[in-house]
């Protein structure tokens, strides 16, 4: 039977604005455990601890294609999992009694352009195997789409929820295809698949993974290590961005939302802020007065950035599941620098 009633609010879910998710998960066993693929990546590294705080360490299964480092919390159950192997996926979902899957494993935009065949295989075969496991074992699925799902023909300012999507990167193509595949599984099999079109996501807790928006994380490390950073994007390149606590909260809130309210369930635009490298540098300079930014443009990443939106219309997410961001640019910069102490003040 399809799952339409996955609602953490019915379990006593309390979302604390800005940073924390606290859940009374006494009924989690009735729904099964939570599996996170790509758990060692930038988003997974933040999502897993949040889910553990909500549900307890025994109810969250972290997985990735590589062994965890010493920094990983080894009290959390872990599976070495290649999502492109259908048998492995089915085995973990069945053996671990999985009820919800956050499928984060993917090859990102810049790396994908270097390895397009690998990006297609990992991103599409992995999602197809996750959705098939969800169909067979009655799981809910979260799938992160991206602003990369848009393309040069998309309106770049206030990009609508429903608009032309003709991306010109393999990463973007896999995201559009993934959105459609999730739609198909929901319409054809009743699979409870939900997703967000994430903007660039910034985090202090894990290194970025090969995306075009990585500069917005790297710039902070430059600021605290030597008060200097060389940007590979032009100073006026505006892109939508989101701080990791907001991104994690958006994922959890979407999965907690009443299914009857969701119209655009598999690909919600979500927005928090947008800025350029020069604007971000100016915001950092308010806290690190000696900070200097210069520019050495990477034509490949610049071309990708110029095919993406400058800002998003996220009114559908606000209307259908009450989305509201907690961090603006200054709040994000202040918190990032507070967690990355200056080594060369």
Residues labelled as active-site residues: 171
Contact between residue 41 and residue 104 where contact means Cβ atoms under 8 Å apart? yes
Closest C-alpha to 98, from 79, 117, 82:
79
* CA distance linking residue 102 with residue 36, whole number of Å: 5
* CA distance linking residue 94 with residue 329, whole number of Å: 43
C-alpha separations of 303 from 149, 158, 168, 311 in Å: 15, 20, 10, 17
C-alpha separations of 254 from 144, 197, 302 in Å: 11, 12, 31
* CA distance linking residue 203 with residue 23, whole number of Å: 23
Number of C-alpha atoms within 13 angstroms, CB side, residue 339? 13
* Torsion angles phi and psi, residue 63, rounded to 5: -150, 150
């Amino acid at each position: 039977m399809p799952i339409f009633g996955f609602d953490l609010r019915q379990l006593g879910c309390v979302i604390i604005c800005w940073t924390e998710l606290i859940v009374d998960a006494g009924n989690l066993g009735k729904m099964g455990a939570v599996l996170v693929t790509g758990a060692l990546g930038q988003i997974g590294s933040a999502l897993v601890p949040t889910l553990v705080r909500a549900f307890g360490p025994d109810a969250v299964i972290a997985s990735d294609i590589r062994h965890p480092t010493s920094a990983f919390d080894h009290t959390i159950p872990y599976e070495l999992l290649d999502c492109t192997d259908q048998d492995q996926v089915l085995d973990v979902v069945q053996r671990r009694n999985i009820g919800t899957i956050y499928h984060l494993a993917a090859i990102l935009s810049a790396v994908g352009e270097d390895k397009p065949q690998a990006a297609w295989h990992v991103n599409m075969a992995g999602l197809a195997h996750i959705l098939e496991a969800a169909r067979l074992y009655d799981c809910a699925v979260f799938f992160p789409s991206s602003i990369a799902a848009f393309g040069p023909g998309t309106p770049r300012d206030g990009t609508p929820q429903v608009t032309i999507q003709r991306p010109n990167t393999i990463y973007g193509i896999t995201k559009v295809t993934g959105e459609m595949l999730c739609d198909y599984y929901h319409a054809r099999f009743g699979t409870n698949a939900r997703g967000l079109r994430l903007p660039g996501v910034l985090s202090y807790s894990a290194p970025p993974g090969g995306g075009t928006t990585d500069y917005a994380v790297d710039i902070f490390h430059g600021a605290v290590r030597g008060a200097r950073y060389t940007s590979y994007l032009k100073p006026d390149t505006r892109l939508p961005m989101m701080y990791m606590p907001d991104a994690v909260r958006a994922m959890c809130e979407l999965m907690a939302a009443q299914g009857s309210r969701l119209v655009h369930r598999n690909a919600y635009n979500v927005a928090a802020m947008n800025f350029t490298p020069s604007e971000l540098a100016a915001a950092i300079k308010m806290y690190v007065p000696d900070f200097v930014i210069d520019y050495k443009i990477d034509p490949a990443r610049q071309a990708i950035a110029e095919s993406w939106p400058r800002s998003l219309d996220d009114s559908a997410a606000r209307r259908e599941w009450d989305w509201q961001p907690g961090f603006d640019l200054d709040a994000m910069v202040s918190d990032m620098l507070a967690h990355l102490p200056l080594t060369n003040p």
